[in-house]
A and B are shown apart, each in its own frame.
Chain A
């Protein structure tokens, strides 16, 4: 693995942070956010939606052409959606196919037609460019733990399916870009999905809020009477001037947690409400929390932010048809509401949302659902997206076709490296730094070529 080459800027940023951080802890914080290296209108956010469990995305994006639909229906049997229920998308794919959306994704259809949503077809983790031919011959290097949830989620988060790295590509972007933010307390990497690999950097850590926006705070009462005594005792201990350097360091983390949580709650709690209505479901609430945080970007001193939102429960080994439909409804509604809220905030072109998932699923049915697959279809949304198009060849779905590795588990056409590279470049990673974020990217794409990896971002 290439050593992360961040020392210079990383060090500058850290020195700055240390100074501010100390001041903030001792003197309270009030005037942050004034010294951003970027102008305020340079703001960009990248929102990753993790469909945990492996979404059956060949039922989200379905071929409509006569022969292609027939192949689809033959492969999927009881899992096939009726052709007349699919929501047609205009245009054809690069390999000449017309596609339709799952009927429960109705809110996405107009966004696609308006050029705000694009799809990337049959993408997944690859170690190196892999053709059906090399796969058949057993000559291909394959991702670790192929078809396993935990491993493949890690691949989507680290961007290195051939190595168990301790950092993720979102975290490595933050390592590079964090200096653009002026807040010493709160990371630019904000997770609504707990501590995660995607946003783990070498120098930067993620800031976690619960999906509904509750912020971790130290317990104040239990058993005892409601008391200020205990709280005062904690405050006193954490103001002690310790002789031990490590005790001082621990004190610092604790005080930063208190400061960050208070500051975050105040900033996000103070933003005005949206006209756009979000659903009361878990995903809708999480996306609303992301929207509120973006709305508070100036108060928080942020010019670059990544968000991770997770919606679990896509492992449809059974009850695929009903459950997937029931889950796509809030997913689509939450995405559309978020899109509208970003327009309302005037940052529609500065916020890009994209989906990830462990894998797509077998095309063939197990009688009730589908099993773990590999390549799948993904959605990218935002004003900066070259929407209304499907990028990448939509694969043949006939069982036994060259890309079928068995039971309709499809070898990806496009590596996640290419998918992520497009997003990282848009986010502000320089081509020369792309291999810090995505160490394997040169195997798939030449960052200095001047060409876009896939072209879905404008």
Chain B
């Protein structure tokens, strides 16, 4: 829902984004109008009215060309084989990797350990590749989790700054390319050095400054660029050709038939930095690029997973224009969530409250005290949502998440409208920090030079004076500083007994299962409440309780028929990228929100503060009839399920896999590393069994496995075999539902 505006690209003024979106949409449309073999799908009768969407015509064209080439004696099959060997990143030697142990050569206990580790990584870390799975299996889930707790955050803002520098260098002239250093995987280590893991600081500016420091120590800047200026000039001359390629389908055929064209396409993109629109595109989307790189390649996948889950509880969204336009605002917000992911919930809540992104989204930025003369009252938006959605929910809960029943066995409301008004008074007087702070609710942000990376500041004159009556009898005395009031309100909510079960259950749902048992919720609540010896609100204790609980760790087949959760569409994408070590020429994996249009979900883009889906959502049919929930089904529609399925198709086609579509000139296309799988592909069953560990932690149903093996055996080329197997597994119901 967040994307409908982007489709109306006429007013976004972001041509590159719009072009890419259109191109993605075109790609999807292309394939969607393609004939579909034995499927009982009737071709829409009017596809021919939109010739640019006719994949069938394209295929016929390619076939005609191939037939012609064969007729004049060209060894088309040899050419195709050569192309296959070099596409998908053109890794030399890709056909001859060192042999890997196949699942068939493993003992059953070893396979079981790998499956458990794979499942754990799917819950805790958006998945992992075979090597990571093996490491976790060796080390044990609990020990690996502790290692992750000790790993420093991979923030997005420093990455955005690094890229911005590269971007600026492009504008400054040719010498700028010298700084256009491809990122090394070692870059990630840089993030480790400068962060103290301190989650206790209630402000978020200092930590950010600290993180930004690392760039000055970055010796990578001194490195030589291995791509020379000559190349750049040469490629610029070929720009026209490449533009033509982008605008024409039949030229895409050339693209497929010749790796040379692939290269020129890539080179030419460096010249597109001349387009001033690119800058706007970069500033609007950089946080999305950075998120991809960190979640796919960062050293801290558990922290990234938790922050992403938190972004679906403490929702801000680019449905608010300022959130959409300022990727720095989103990046800063996400980094704030990262910082607190292993910290304390109380500090998380305070920083969420003070973040300008939240201030904009729930309108408590520039929320003024009441004015009896004018008859005005404080805005109640944040006051309501911080209680309903961020901390305690609507009704009093038992520690196991069930409603505490009052008179007449009715649920007991946690607050009423009077409480909302009292909390609304607390959240007054905040405005954006920056060189020229200006308390005003008129929409003229350019005059206030707000710095969205800094917490909001209190302007006492606009803060509601007087006592405030909070929950459970707590009274904030008159005459305090405004920020003291806010801290008191945060403490009041943080100490409410509902927070443990309310937040704990949602985190279980995001990470492990849609329908946790009451006992499981109670164990997590106990951890939140400090009963395991950690302080109240300690996120590490909560995460240990969630991820190491017997209900999360016991073998899936022991679970009842309703176990597991539907994978979120955007996390499917990340999971597949991580499962096959996605990388690129520069080592960076960059994606953007365009994918969200096809699959119906993207980070910080929920349609409302109620997230993409609600914790209580239950799809029609037996799930609802059984009294169970499956929140992710709320965004799994007859429309998005097609986009989700086609995403797997596009990822197994040999083209770039993040739908970045070339994107910005200084960031490169991503591909999957499939060498190990290709080495196994001679045996379809060995291949599928390996993928069953990596993708579905051994839960591929026997019938599904048989069907896929049979379909894979129809192909000869090892890479095609891998692609087909990955495609079929990742579109299967077995993969969709992670048991």
Contacts and interface: CB of A to CB of B under 8 A. Distances in A.
Given A230-B724, A258-B39, A269-B42, A214 B53 contact: yes
Q: Which of B381, B514, B600, B638 has the most CB of A within 10 A?
A: B638
A237 B42 contact: no
Contact of B630 (A153, A208, A246): A246
Interface stretch (A86-94, A103-111, A194-202): A194-202
A184 to B, nearest CB: 10
A261 interface: yes
Q: Which bucket holds chain A's interface residue count?
A: 35 or more
Q: B37, B633, B643: which has the most chain A beta carbons within 10 Å?
A: B37
Given A154-B319, A244-B563, A53 B10 contact: yes
Interface in B35-51: 35-47, 49-50
A253 interface: yes
A4 interface: no
B117 interface: no
Given A150-B5, A249-B621, A250-B636, A240 B701 contact: yes
B739 interface: yes
Nearest to B708: A233
B652 interface: yes
Given A217-B33, A314-B10, A248 B597 contact: no
Contacts of A12: none
A183 to B, nearest CB: 12
Contacts of B708: 233, 237
Contacts of A146: 443
Given A223-B723, A258-B39, A269-B46, A145 B649 contact: no
Contact of B50 (A14, A212, A262): A212
Nearest to B368: A138
A218 interface: yes
B8 interface: yes
Contact of A265 (B1, B43, B621): B43
B38 A232 contact: yes
Contacts of B34: 217, 219-221
A269 B47 CA distance: 10
A166 B614 CA distance: 10
B481 interface: no
A148 B376 contact: no
A236 B734 CA distance: 13
Interface stretch (B130-138, B209-217, B605-613): B605-613
Contact of B11 (A151, A220, A256, A314): A314
A313 B15 CA distance: 12
B566 A250 contact: yes
B637 interface: yes
A315 B321 CA distance: 14
A236 B732 CA distance: 10
Interface string B144-168: 0000000000000000000000000
Given A195-B1, A217-B36, A223 B652 contact: yes
A26 interface: no
B44 A246 contact: no
Interface stretch (B490-498, B669-677, B709-717): B709-717
Contacts of B49: 212-213, 285
Contact of B443 (A148, A165, A217, A234): A148
Nearest to A405: B442
Contact of A144 (B46, B381, B714): B381
Interface in B659-716: 701, 703-704, 707-708, 710-711, 714-715
A284 B442 CA distance: 39
A238 B607 CA distance: 30
Interface string A307-332: 00010111100000000000000000
Contact of A310 (B1, B4, B620, B652): B4
Contacts of B37: 220-221, 226-232
* Max count, chain B CB within 10 A of own CB: residue among A138, A144, A223: A223
Contacts of B565: 246
A244 B646 CA distance: 24
| Candidate in A164, A193, A213, A219 with the most chain B CB atoms within 10 angstroms | A219
Given A150-B318, A196-B4, A245-B628, A262 B41 contact: yes
A316 B110 CA distance: 64
Nearest to A269: B45
Contacts of A149: 5, 11, 321
A14 B620 contact: yes
Contacts of A38: none
A237 B733 contact: yes
A240 B733 contact: yes
B45 A265 contact: yes
A226 B55 CA distance: 12
Contacts of A266: 42
A438 to B, nearest CB: 17
Contacts of B363: 144-145
B236 interface: no
Given A195-B4, A223-B654, A249-B621, A233 B707 contact: yes
A154 to B, nearest CB: 6
- Give the residue among B38, B610, B622 with the most A Cβ atoms within 10 A: B38
B570 to A, nearest CB: 14
Nearest to B375: A139
B514 A246 contact: yes
A257 B639 contact: yes
Nearest to B731: A234
B395 to A, nearest CB: 13
Contacts of B654: 223
B652 A151 contact: no
B59 interface: yes
A256 B640 CA distance: 12
Nearest to A313: B10
Contacts of B471: none
Interface in B12-48: 13, 28-29, 31-47
Contact of A153 (B5, B38, B40, B361): B5
A225 B10 CA distance: 39
B68 interface: no
A164 B723 CA distance: 42
B398 to A, nearest CB: 23
A150 B321 contact: yes
A18 interface: yes
B9 interface: yes
Interface in B531-571: 561-566
Contacts of A153: 4-5
A138 B1 contact: no
B623 interface: yes
Contact of A249 (B29, B324, B630): B630
B630 A197 contact: no
A218 B43 CA distance: 12
B8 A252 contact: no
Contacts of A210: 29
Interface in A412-428: none
Nearest to A18: B621
Interface in B440-491: 441, 443
Interface in A39-67: 50, 52-54
Contact of B35 (A28, A220, A243): A220
3 A-B pairs closest in CB distance = A313-B10, A312-B8, A315-B11
13 contacts: A137-B375, A139-B374, A146-B443, A164-B361, A194-B597, A203-B620, A208-B639, A240-B704, A246-B623, A247-B733, A249-B621, A313-B8, A313-B9
Given A212-B49, A244-B739, A250-B736, 17 more contacts: A139-B374, A149-B5, A151-B320, A194-B597, A210-B29, A214-B44, A222-B650, A223-B720, A230-B37, A232-B38, A236-B707, A242-B733, A244-B563, A245-B562, A249-B633, A257-B638, A269-B46
Interface of A: 14, 17-18, 21-22, 28, 50, 52-54, 137-139, 142, 144-151, 153-154, 162-166, 185, 193-197, 200, 203, 205-208, 210, 212-224, 226-238, 240, 242-254, 256-258, 260-262, 265-266, 268-270, 285, 310, 312-315, 358
